[in-house]
Structure 1
Amino acid sequence: MDEFNDAVTVLDEGECWEHLGSHQLGRLVTHVGEVLDVFPVNYVVDGASLVFRTAEGSKLLELTVNDHVLFEVDDWNDERAWSVVARGHAHRLDALTEIEAADRLPLRPWIPTVKFTYVRVVPTELTGRAFARGEEPDRDSVQPG
């Protein structure tokens, strides 16, 4: 029996999008120079992309300097867990038609702040895994390696 293969399942692209569409809170990872930052953002899936709103500040500045991002969403319960990572590019929506379309999305700030700027994350790579949760196997009966 291979405990790892029984406990971990690689998700296909469709399953990754299903999981992303079932949630509203993720983590955006930016990278500028030697600095990595992680920002929690509420988002919606829009086609084959993710859209969130933000205010002027470090998140938006960092995306202007380097648009390469990671976006991660996960969830768990007593029996299962999953994690999806989207690698791609983020860009501010500037065209009036893009902003008007984004205004129609079911996306509202979770905190009482005004956020005028929409950002779209377009994944170039989408990966995910699902996990069966349970007790750790007896380590004495497993050979490392």
Structure 2
Amino acid sequence: MPADADPVTVLSEDESWSLLSSVSLGRLVTILDGQPEIFPVNFVIQRRTVLFRTAQGTKLFSAVMGDRVAFEADDHTAAGGWSVILKGRAHVLSATEEILEAEETPLIPWIPTMKPLYVRVVALEITGRRFEFGT
């Protein structure tokens, strides 16, 4: 990399959504009792929202009861990487048509536990960065 080249590139909203669509593991960040909680989740992008499955518990409670959540996903190679962060609101899908639409996605729990609930994160803000690693 030339000495004057910037190793960090700010991504457009479209580039950020495209990169999010290329991976299936991310991290959901919530606040519970004033403390941050981070949950790894497998997910899909559907209509520029993040969709994941879960069961009753801390993840669900803190995601939908809080005012806001954050979501992060990234990837890398030997040459560089990227990171996308979105901030938004989460809600449990309850309308029949929303659930049917979610069931059409390839979203399957990675571990053999019951995850009957779909949660959608609607982005209020999305930012992304691409990184070029030094040599």
Q: TM-score range by the shorter chain?
A: over 0.9
Count of aligned pairs: 134
Indicate yes or no: 2:67 matched with 1:53.
no
Q: Partner amino acid for 2:26?
A: G
Could you tell me how far apart the structure 2 residues matched to 1:30 and 1:2 are? 39
Q: Which protein has the bigger helix share? A: 1
Could you tell me how far apart the structure 1 residues matched to 2:13 and 2:97 are? 28
Per the alignment, residue 64 of structure 2 pairs with: 64
Structure 1 position 67, deviation (Å): 4.0
Structure 1 position 64, deviation (Å): 3.1
Q: TM-score, normalised by structure 2?
A: 0.94
Q: TM-score, normalised by structure 1?
A: 0.87
RMSD: 1.4
Misfit runs of 4+, over 4 Å = none
Residues 35 and 53 of structure 1: is their aligned pair in 2 closer, same or farther, counting only changes over 3 Å?
same
Could you tell me how far apart the structure 2 residues matched to 1:88 and 1:61 are? 16
- Identity percentage of aligned residues: 48
Could you tell me how far apart the structure 1 residues matched to 2:74 and 2:48 are? 18
Deviation readout 1:54-99 (Å, 9 max, x if unpaired):
0111011112320410000011111011000011011000111111
Q: Partner amino acid for 1:45?
A: I
Per the alignment, residue 139 of structure 1 pairs with: none
Alpha-carbon contact 2:8-2:131 (below 8 Å) kept:
yes
Structure of greater Rg: 1
Deviation readout 1:15-71 (Å, 9 max, x if unpaired):
101100000000000013311100000000001101000011101111232041000
Q: Which runs of 5+ in 2 are unaligned?
A: none
Report the more deviating stretch, 27-36 or 119-128.
Answer: 27-36
Report the more deviating stretch, 5-14 or 115-124.
Answer: 5-14
1:27-42 equivalent positions in 2, closer than 5 A: 27-42=27-42
Per the alignment, residue 6 of structure 1 pairs with: 6
